[in-house]
Protein backbone atom coordinates (compact mmCIF):
# COMPACT_ATOMS: atom_id res chain seq x y z
CA UNK A 1 0.00 0.00 0.00
CA UNK A 2 1.32 3.45 -0.93
CA UNK A 3 1.79 5.90 1.92
CA UNK A 4 -0.88 8.27 0.60
CA UNK A 5 -3.40 5.40 0.55
CA UNK A 6 -2.34 4.37 4.04
CA UNK A 7 -2.77 7.90 5.40
CA UNK A 8 -6.23 8.13 3.88
CA UNK A 9 -7.21 4.77 5.34
CA UNK A 10 -5.87 5.83 8.74
CA UNK A 11 -7.84 9.06 8.56
CA UNK A 12 -10.98 7.13 7.63
CA UNK A 13 -10.54 4.78 10.61
CA UNK A 14 -10.18 7.69 13.02
CA UNK A 15 -13.08 9.59 11.51
CA UNK A 16 -15.47 6.66 11.80
CA UNK A 17 -14.79 6.03 15.50
CA UNK A 18 -16.11 8.03 18.43
CA UNK A 19 -13.70 6.42 20.87
CA UNK A 20 -9.91 6.52 20.75
CA UNK A 21 -7.89 3.82 18.99
CA UNK A 22 -4.50 2.75 20.26
CA UNK A 23 -1.45 2.51 18.02
CA UNK A 24 -1.57 -1.28 18.44
CA UNK A 25 -5.20 -1.46 17.30
CA UNK A 26 -4.43 0.73 14.30
CA UNK A 27 -1.33 -1.27 13.39
CA UNK A 28 -3.20 -4.59 13.60
CA UNK A 29 -6.05 -3.29 11.46
CA UNK A 30 -3.74 -1.83 8.81
CA UNK A 31 -1.13 -4.61 9.08
CA UNK A 32 1.82 -2.29 9.65
CA UNK A 33 4.14 -1.71 12.60
CA UNK A 34 3.30 0.59 15.50
CA UNK A 35 6.30 2.70 14.53
CA UNK A 36 4.71 3.26 11.12
CA UNK A 37 1.49 4.36 12.84
CA UNK A 38 3.42 6.88 14.95
CA UNK A 39 5.05 8.34 11.83
CA UNK A 40 1.74 8.48 9.98
CA UNK A 41 -0.02 10.19 12.90
CA UNK A 42 2.75 12.77 12.96
CA UNK A 43 2.39 13.30 9.19
CA UNK A 44 -1.36 13.87 9.56
CA UNK A 45 -0.81 16.36 12.38
CA UNK A 46 1.80 18.28 10.40
CA UNK A 47 -0.61 18.49 7.46
CA UNK A 48 -3.21 20.19 9.66
CA UNK A 49 -5.42 17.26 10.61
CA UNK A 50 -6.45 17.73 14.29
CA UNK A 51 -5.46 14.35 15.74
CA UNK A 52 -5.66 14.12 19.52
CA UNK A 53 -3.43 11.62 21.30
CA UNK A 54 -3.01 10.57 24.90
CA UNK A 55 -0.59 8.00 26.30
CA UNK A 56 -2.39 4.83 27.31
CA UNK A 57 -5.64 5.96 25.67
CA UNK A 58 -4.96 6.28 21.97
CA UNK A 59 -5.77 8.59 19.08
CA UNK A 60 -8.92 10.23 17.84
CA UNK A 61 -9.94 13.16 15.71
CA UNK A 62 -11.18 16.34 17.33
CA UNK A 63 -14.93 16.42 17.59
CA UNK A 64 -16.70 18.31 14.78
CA UNK A 65 -13.79 17.76 12.38
CA UNK A 66 -15.08 17.04 8.88
CA UNK A 67 -13.26 16.18 5.70
CA UNK A 68 -14.22 18.44 2.79
CA UNK A 69 -16.37 16.56 0.23
CA UNK A 70 -14.82 15.54 -3.04
CA UNK A 71 -15.72 18.06 -5.71
CA UNK A 72 -15.59 17.37 -9.43
CA UNK A 73 -15.95 19.77 -12.33
CA UNK A 74 -18.10 18.89 -15.34
CA UNK A 75 -15.21 17.45 -17.37
CA UNK A 76 -14.11 15.21 -14.48
CA UNK A 77 -17.67 13.97 -14.00
CA UNK A 78 -17.97 13.14 -17.70
CA UNK A 79 -14.65 11.29 -17.64
CA UNK A 80 -15.71 9.24 -14.61
CA UNK A 81 -19.11 8.42 -16.08
CA UNK A 82 -17.64 7.46 -19.46
CA UNK A 83 -15.03 5.23 -17.79
CA UNK A 84 -17.70 3.53 -15.69
CA UNK A 85 -19.86 2.99 -18.78
CA UNK A 86 -16.92 1.38 -20.58
CA UNK A 87 -16.39 -1.01 -17.68
CA UNK A 88 -20.12 -1.73 -17.61
CA UNK A 89 -20.20 -2.45 -21.34
CA UNK A 90 -16.89 -4.25 -21.81
CA UNK A 91 -16.26 -5.91 -18.45
CA UNK A 92 -17.65 -9.12 -17.04
CA UNK A 93 -20.96 -9.17 -15.18
CA UNK A 94 -19.39 -8.53 -11.76
CA UNK A 95 -17.37 -5.59 -13.04
CA UNK A 96 -20.44 -4.21 -14.82
CA UNK A 97 -22.51 -4.38 -11.64
CA UNK A 98 -19.75 -2.65 -9.66
CA UNK A 99 -19.44 0.07 -12.31
CA UNK A 100 -23.20 0.73 -12.28
CA UNK A 101 -23.14 0.90 -8.48
CA UNK A 102 -20.24 3.37 -8.62
CA UNK A 103 -22.18 5.56 -11.08
CA UNK A 104 -25.11 5.78 -8.68
CA UNK A 105 -22.84 6.65 -5.75
CA UNK A 106 -21.10 9.38 -7.78
CA UNK A 107 -24.40 10.88 -8.91
CA UNK A 108 -25.80 10.81 -5.38
CA UNK A 109 -23.12 13.16 -4.01
CA UNK A 110 -22.97 15.58 -6.93
CA UNK A 111 -24.44 19.07 -6.66
CA UNK A 112 -27.70 19.71 -8.51
CA UNK A 113 -26.11 21.37 -11.55
CA UNK A 114 -24.00 18.23 -12.23
CA UNK A 115 -26.40 15.52 -11.09
CA UNK A 116 -27.99 15.12 -14.53
CA UNK A 117 -24.64 14.71 -16.30
CA UNK A 118 -25.27 11.01 -16.82
CA UNK A 119 -28.56 11.66 -18.63
CA UNK A 120 -27.07 14.40 -20.81
CA UNK A 121 -23.70 12.80 -21.52
CA UNK A 122 -23.39 12.63 -25.34
CA UNK A 123 -20.86 9.76 -25.12
CA UNK A 124 -22.43 6.32 -25.37
CA UNK A 125 -20.99 2.85 -24.91
CA UNK A 126 -23.29 0.18 -26.38
CA UNK A 127 -23.64 -3.00 -24.34
CA UNK A 128 -24.41 -6.45 -25.70
CA UNK A 129 -25.13 -9.48 -23.54
CA UNK A 130 -23.65 -11.77 -26.17
CA UNK A 131 -20.40 -9.79 -26.15
CA UNK A 132 -20.01 -10.11 -22.39
CA UNK A 133 -20.82 -13.81 -22.56
CA UNK A 134 -18.18 -14.55 -25.21
CA UNK A 135 -15.36 -12.04 -24.82
CA UNK A 136 -15.28 -11.80 -21.02
CA UNK A 137 -15.57 -15.56 -20.49
CA UNK A 138 -13.82 -16.69 -17.29
CA UNK A 139 -12.82 -13.10 -16.49
CA UNK A 140 -14.09 -13.13 -12.92
CA UNK A 141 -12.41 -16.45 -12.15
CA UNK A 142 -9.15 -15.28 -13.70
CA UNK A 143 -9.14 -12.02 -11.75
CA UNK A 144 -9.61 -13.95 -8.52
CA UNK A 145 -6.76 -16.33 -9.44
CA UNK A 146 -4.50 -13.34 -10.16
CA UNK A 147 -5.29 -11.83 -6.75
CA UNK A 148 -4.71 -15.14 -4.95
CA UNK A 149 -1.70 -16.06 -7.15
CA UNK A 150 -3.10 -19.48 -7.98
CA UNK A 151 -2.19 -21.46 -11.07
CA UNK A 152 -4.77 -22.22 -13.74
CA UNK A 153 -5.33 -25.22 -15.98
CA UNK A 154 -6.79 -24.23 -19.34
CA UNK A 155 -7.86 -25.95 -22.54
CA UNK A 156 -7.10 -23.47 -25.31
CA UNK A 157 -7.99 -23.29 -29.00
CA UNK A 158 -5.62 -21.26 -31.17
CA UNK A 159 -6.58 -19.25 -34.26
CA UNK A 160 -5.56 -22.24 -36.44
CA UNK A 161 -8.05 -24.43 -34.52
CA UNK A 162 -5.26 -26.38 -32.79
CA UNK A 163 -6.07 -27.17 -29.15
CA UNK A 164 -3.77 -27.71 -26.20
CA UNK A 165 -3.87 -27.97 -22.43
CA UNK A 166 -1.68 -25.60 -20.41
CA UNK A 167 -0.80 -24.97 -16.80
CA UNK A 168 -0.25 -21.25 -16.44
CA UNK A 169 0.49 -18.56 -13.87
CA UNK A 170 -2.00 -15.72 -14.54
CA UNK A 171 -0.37 -12.28 -14.30
CA UNK A 172 -2.81 -9.75 -15.74
CA UNK A 173 -5.69 -8.98 -18.10
CA UNK A 174 -5.38 -6.55 -21.00
CA UNK A 175 -8.25 -5.11 -23.04
CA UNK A 176 -7.59 -4.34 -26.72
CA UNK A 177 -10.78 -2.55 -27.69
CA UNK A 178 -12.69 -5.74 -28.49
CA UNK A 179 -11.00 -8.77 -26.98
CA UNK A 180 -9.66 -9.40 -23.51
CA UNK A 181 -6.34 -11.21 -23.28
CA UNK A 182 -4.65 -12.94 -20.38
CA UNK A 183 -0.91 -12.45 -19.90
CA UNK A 184 0.50 -15.52 -18.17
CA UNK A 185 3.64 -17.49 -17.56
CA UNK A 186 3.22 -20.79 -19.39
CA UNK A 187 4.68 -23.84 -17.64
CA UNK A 188 4.82 -25.74 -20.95
CA UNK A 189 6.80 -23.06 -22.81
CA UNK A 190 8.75 -21.71 -19.85
CA UNK A 191 7.99 -18.20 -21.05
CA UNK A 192 5.31 -15.56 -21.30
CA UNK A 193 2.26 -16.35 -23.39
CA UNK A 194 -0.89 -14.35 -24.15
CA UNK A 195 -4.29 -16.06 -24.37
CA UNK A 196 -7.55 -14.64 -25.68
CA UNK A 197 -10.35 -15.21 -23.20
CA UNK A 198 -12.86 -16.12 -25.91
CA UNK A 199 -10.59 -18.98 -27.04
CA UNK A 200 -10.32 -20.59 -23.60
CA UNK A 201 -12.49 -23.69 -23.86
CA UNK A 202 -12.26 -24.74 -20.21
CA UNK A 203 -10.59 -23.32 -17.12
CA UNK A 204 -9.87 -24.70 -13.66
CA UNK A 205 -8.31 -22.93 -10.71
CA UNK A 206 -5.80 -25.12 -8.87
CA UNK A 207 -4.63 -25.02 -5.25
CA UNK A 208 -1.03 -24.59 -6.41
CA UNK A 209 0.37 -21.15 -5.67
CA UNK A 210 2.96 -19.17 -7.63
CA UNK A 211 5.05 -16.10 -6.94
CA UNK A 212 6.08 -13.18 -9.11
CA UNK A 213 9.53 -11.59 -9.33
CA UNK A 214 11.39 -8.84 -11.15
CA UNK A 215 11.91 -11.33 -14.00
CA UNK A 216 8.38 -12.74 -14.03
CA UNK A 217 5.53 -10.28 -13.64
CA UNK A 218 3.06 -8.24 -15.66
CA UNK A 219 5.32 -5.19 -15.34
CA UNK A 220 8.32 -7.15 -16.64
CA UNK A 221 6.29 -8.44 -19.58
CA UNK A 222 5.10 -4.94 -20.50
CA UNK A 223 8.67 -3.61 -20.28
CA UNK A 224 9.81 -6.37 -22.65
CA UNK A 225 7.05 -5.49 -25.10
CA UNK A 226 7.98 -1.80 -24.93
CA UNK A 227 11.63 -2.63 -25.65
CA UNK A 228 10.65 -4.86 -28.58
CA UNK A 229 8.41 -2.14 -29.99
CA UNK A 230 11.23 0.41 -29.76
CA UNK A 231 13.65 -1.96 -31.49
CA UNK A 232 11.06 -2.63 -34.20
CA UNK A 233 10.65 1.10 -34.84
CA UNK A 234 14.41 1.57 -35.07
CA UNK A 235 14.74 -1.31 -37.53
CA UNK A 236 11.83 0.00 -39.60
CA UNK A 237 13.41 3.47 -39.68
CA UNK A 238 16.81 2.06 -40.76
CA UNK A 239 15.13 0.02 -43.50
CA UNK A 240 13.21 3.07 -44.72
CA UNK A 241 16.38 5.18 -44.78
CA UNK A 242 18.16 2.47 -46.78
CA UNK A 243 15.34 2.34 -49.32
CA UNK A 244 15.44 6.12 -49.71
CA UNK A 245 19.21 6.01 -50.23
CA UNK A 246 18.82 3.40 -52.97
CA UNK A 247 16.24 5.56 -54.72
CA UNK A 248 18.54 8.60 -54.57
CA UNK A 249 21.44 6.66 -56.08
Q: Looking at per-residue confidence, does 12 or 40 come out higher? A: 40
**Radius of gyration for the chain, computed over Cα atoms and rounded to the nearest angstrom:** 25
| pLDDT tens track for 149-197 | 999 999 999 999 999 999 999 999 999 888 999 999 999 999 999 999 9
The CA distance from 118 to 72, in Å, is: 14
| pLDDT tens track for 83-125 | 998 998 899 989 999 998 888 887 777 777 776 666 777 777 8
- Per-residue model confidence (pLDDT) at position 245: 41
Q: What are the backbone dihedrals phi and psi of residue 185, each rounded to the nearest 5 degrees, phi first?
A: -95, 120
pLDDT-based confidence at residue 247 (cuts at 50, 70, 90): very low
Nearest CA to 143 among 119, 172, 168?
A: 172
pLDDT-based confidence at residue 16 (cuts at 50, 70, 90): low
- Per-residue model confidence (pLDDT) at position 7: 83
Please list, in sequence order, all residues whose beta carbon lies within 8 angstroms of the beta carbon of residue 40, skipping any fewer than 6 positions away.
3, 6, 7, 10
| DSSP per-residue letters across 175-233 | E-SS-EEEEEEETTTTEEEEEEGGGEEEEEEEEEE---BTTBSHHHHHHHHHHHHHHHH
The CA distance from 58 to 10, in Å, is: 13
Query: What H or E segment, with its residue span, contains residue 153?
Result: strand 150-157
Are residues 199 and 155 in contact, defined by beta-carbon separation less than 8 angstroms? no
Amino acid sequence: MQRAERLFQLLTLLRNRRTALTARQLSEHMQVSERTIYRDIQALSLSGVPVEGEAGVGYRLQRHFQLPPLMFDRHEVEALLLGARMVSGWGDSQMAASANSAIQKILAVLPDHLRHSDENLPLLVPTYDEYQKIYTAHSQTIREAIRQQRMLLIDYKRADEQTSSRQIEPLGLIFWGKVWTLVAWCQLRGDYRVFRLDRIQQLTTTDEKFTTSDEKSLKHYLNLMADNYEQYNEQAYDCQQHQVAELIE
